[in-house]
A and B are shown apart, each in its own frame.
Chain A
Amino acid sequence: DTEVTQTPKHLVMGMTNKKSLKCEQHMGHRAMYWYKQKAKKPPELMFVYSYEKLSINESVPSRFSPECPNSSLLNLHLHALQPEDSALYLCASSQGGGPGETGDTQYFGPGTRLTVL
Chain B
Amino acid sequence: GQQVMQIPQYQHVQEGEDFTTYCNSSTTLSNIQWYKQRPGGHPVFLIQLVKSGEVKKQKRLTFQFGEAKKNSSLHITATQTTDVGTYFCAGASGYSTLTFGKGTMLLVSP
Query: Which of A's residues lie within 8 Å of B, judged by CB?
Result: 40-43, 45, 48, 56, 88, 90, 97-103, 105-111
Is the CB–CB distance between B42 and A109 below 8 Å?
A: yes
Closest approach, in angstroms, between the C-beta of B31 and any C-beta of chain A? 6
Which B-chain residue is minimally distant from A110 (CB atoms)? Answer: B42
Query: Which of B's residues lie within 8 Å of A, judged by CB?
Result: 30-31, 33, 35, 41-45, 48, 50, 86, 88, 90, 92-98, 100-103, 105
Is the CB–CB distance between B42 and A111 below 8 Å?
A: yes
Task: Determine which of B42, B90, B95, B103 lies in contact with A101 in the assembled complex, contact meaning CB atoms within 8 Å.
Answer: B95
Task: Determine which of B43, B48, B94, B97 lies in contact with A108 in the assembled complex, contact meaning CB atoms within 8 Å.
Answer: B43
Which A-chain residue is minimally distant from B91 (CB atoms)? Answer: A99
Is the CB–CB distance between A110 and B41 below 8 Å?
A: yes
Q: Which DSSP category, helix, strand, loop or mixed, fits chain A's interface? A: loop
Is the CB–CB distance between A106 and B48 below 8 Å?
A: no
Is the CB–CB distance between B92 and A99 below 8 Å?
A: yes
Closest approach, in angstroms, between the C-beta of A87 and any C-beta of chain B? 13
Is the CB–CB distance between B98 and A108 below 8 Å?
A: no
Rounded to whole angstroms, the CA-CA distance of A100 and B69 in the bound complex is: 13
Rounded to whole angstroms, the CA-CA distance of A111 and B95 in the bound complex is: 25
Closest approach, in angstroms, between the C-beta of A36 and any C-beta of chain B? 12
Which A-chain residue is minimally distant from B101 (CB atoms)? Answer: A42
Which B-chain residue is minimally distant from A97 (CB atoms)? Answer: B95
Q: Which 5 A-B pairs have the closest CB atoms?
A: A42-B100, A98-B95, A99-B92, A100-B95, A100-B92
CB<8 Å pairs between A and B, sample of 25: A40-B86, A40-B105, A41-B103, A42-B88, A45-B97, A90-B43, A97-B95, A98-B92, A98-B95, A99-B31, A99-B90, A99-B96, A99-B97, A100-B30, A100-B93, A100-B95, A100-B96, A101-B95, A102-B30, A105-B33, A106-B33, A106-B98, A108-B35, A108-B44, A108-B45
Given A40-B103, A106-B98; 13 other pairs, CB 8 A cutoff: A40-B86, A42-B102, A42-B103, A43-B88, A90-B42, A98-B92, A98-B97, A99-B95, A100-B31, A100-B94, A102-B31, A108-B35, A110-B42
Rounded to whole angstroms, the CA-CA distance of A88 and B39 in the bound complex is: 12
Rounded to whole angstroms, the CA-CA distance of A49 and B35 in the bound complex is: 21
